[in-house]
Amino acid sequence: MFIGYDPREDVAVNVLTDSIQAHASTPVQIAQVRLSQLGNVYQRQHHPLQSTAFSFSRFLVPWLAGYDGWALFIDADMLCQGDLAELWALRDATKAVQVVKHQQQCEQGHKFQGMPQSPYGRKNWSSVVLFNCSRCRRLTPEYVNTASGLELHQFRWLADEAIGDLPPEWNVLVGVQPVPASARILHYTLGGPWFDDCQTMPQSERWQAARAAMNHPLSVPDPFPAPLHASSS
């Protein structure tokens, strides 16, 4: 799986990574989509309406995977509350991608750190994407570098019937919709408590608890206890 990386959200990426591993029942291989590691492959200029460094580079995931097998992309501003093996089991070979198909309505304005909030159709569909990489060959570096933002985020590079569904609990928009007890991924799309101006966002306590658990883990048995020695007779 791949996590979008923005230097402003370094701590969020680390807390997210730990939350994924803490809930996983099988090994999870995690990479980050960092512009600093893409060299000359990613050549887009920063767009005034993009709010994160990975707004467009996320669409390089099938290329990064060699257009082979499956790959999962998720935004950095999330907290995992479920076992990703359950999400992985939902792969549908008849689809090119699978997403939570939000019907989000928002006003033009700003969100975290004064970043632009832009209304458009299919908003937030691309924040959790299960890619069937061999069916996403149109996402070449050349195309990702030149396609419009709406072309990419609205999945105009696919026929509608190739876009499959994921259950809504795998991308719950905190502060936008009610958070159900069944939520598997919390998405702090308006800004998370790692930002000074978002300390009072809903569900902040869950993220803060996850961060605290990383820094101050509960007492657990020593995985490598000292061997017991037989007493001398």
Higher pLDDT, 213 or 231: 213
DSSP state letters, 74-137: E-SSEEE-S-HHHHHTT--TT-SEEE--------SEE-GGG-EE---TTTTGGGEEEEEGGG-T
223 pLDDT band, cuts 50/70/90, is low
| Nearest residue to 190 (alpha-carbon basis) of 102, 103, 111, 75 | 111
Is the pLDDT at 222 greater than 70? The verdict is no
pLDDT score, position 114: 55
Q: Is the dihedral of CA 149, 152, 157, 161 positive or negative?
A: negative
Question: What Å distances lie between residue 108 and 56, 104, 173, CA to CA?
Answer: 20, 13, 17
pLDDT at 215: 80
pLDDT tens digits, residue range 104-117? 665 555 455 555 55
Architecture field, domain 2-215: Alpha-Beta Complex (3.90)
> What is the pTM assigned to this prediction?
0.85
What are 11-70's pLDDT values in tens digits?
Answer: 999 999 999 999 999 999 999 999 999 999 999 988 876 778 999 999 999 999 999 999
Report percent pLDDT > 70 for the chain. 85
The residue assigned the tokens 């033009």 is: 108
Per DSSP, the residues of 31-62 read EEE-GGGSTTS--PPPPTT--STTTTGGGGHH
Determine the Cα–Cα distance for residues 137 and 66; give it in Å rounded to an integer. Answer: 9
133 with 68: CB under 8 angstroms?
A: yes
More confident of the two residues 22 and 198: 22
Percent of the chain whose pLDDT exceeds 90: 73
pLDDT at 203: 95
Torsion of CA 62, 98, 130, 81, to 10 degrees: 160
In this prediction, residue 196 has a pLDDT band, given cuts at 50, 70 and 90, of: confident
pLDDT at 219 over 60: no
Arithmetic mean of pLDDT, 180-193: 94
Residues forming a β-bridge with 225: none
pLDDT of res. 83: 98
Which residue has 């048995």 as its token pair?
221
Distance CA 62, CA 173 (A): 25
Contact (Cβ atoms closer than 8 angstroms) between residue 67 and residue 133? yes
Given a contact cutoff of 8 angstroms between Cβ atoms, the answer to whether 4 and 57 are in contact is: yes
pLDDT at residue 233, as a whole number:
44
